Structures are given as structure tokens and as C-alpha cells.
Amino acid sequence: EVQLVESGGGLVQPGGSLRLSCAASGFTFSNYWMTWVRQTPEKGLEWVANTHPGGGQRSHVDSVRGRFTISRDNARNSLYLQMNSLRVEDTAIYYCARDPFYGALDQWGQGTLVVVSS
């Protein structure tokens, strides 16, 4: 059974940092693009970042570029999102998801909540 389990969310002050993790199991992790998507009541679903199966190619949406970094460790079947210089508007549920091709996200984790507030 495919499983994606996020962790690392929590309450952080503006300007702070958090590192989200996503533990994958039940499939060959190194064969898939992986993605972070976030969700807020106000903006709905927003694509945050994705990474090539080998990890060498990464893309980040403009609103987080330079502050967030997606990475992966294929030996540990894990996906990460390093979030620095956090802003109030980064408050969201963050999901990791598997991408077999061009955004066709076929497996999602349960999400981890990040709250940026003073």
C-alpha cells in the first residue's frame, strides 16, 4: 500500500524556519517526481514545489522561491521542504504528493499544518 506521511509542522513566528518531512512507502520512491502542495481556506490549493526523481531538478513557485527549498533523500525514501523566512501568509496545510506525470497527483499524504503567527 502506498503511504505518504508528513511531519514537522507547527507554530512558528514570522521570520522563523521549519523543515517538513514526508516519509514514503509502498512504491519505488526514486522513480517518481514528488511535490509539495499547500492549502488555505482563502486561496485553496497552491502548488509549492516539485523535484525530479533523481533530485537534480527542482522548481519552486514564485511566492516561495528563495525562501523554501525542496529536497529528497532517495536512500531514506523521504521528501523535505526547508522553509525559511516564514511569513504569516505561509500559514497552510502542507501536503506531499506523488506525481507520475505533469501534475497528475495520484497519491497524497494526510497533510501537516504550519501556522506562522506572533
State the residues that interact with another protein by CB under 8 A.
Answer: 37, 44-47, 59, 61-62, 95, 101-106, 108-111
C-beta of residue 66 within 8 angstroms of C-beta of residue 87: no
C-beta of 98: minimal distance to another protein in Å?
10
C-beta of residue 59 within 8 angstroms of C-beta of residue 50: yes
C-beta of 41: minimal distance to another protein in Å?
10
Please give the Cα distance from 53 to 33 (Å, whole number).
Answer: 5
Please give the Cα distance from 11 to 30 (Å, whole number).
Answer: 31
C-beta of 100: minimal distance to another protein in Å?
9
| Cβ-based neighbours of 89, under 8 Å, separated by 6 or more | 116
Residue (16 or 67) nearer to another protein, CB: 67
Residue (13 or 104) nearer to another protein, CB: 104
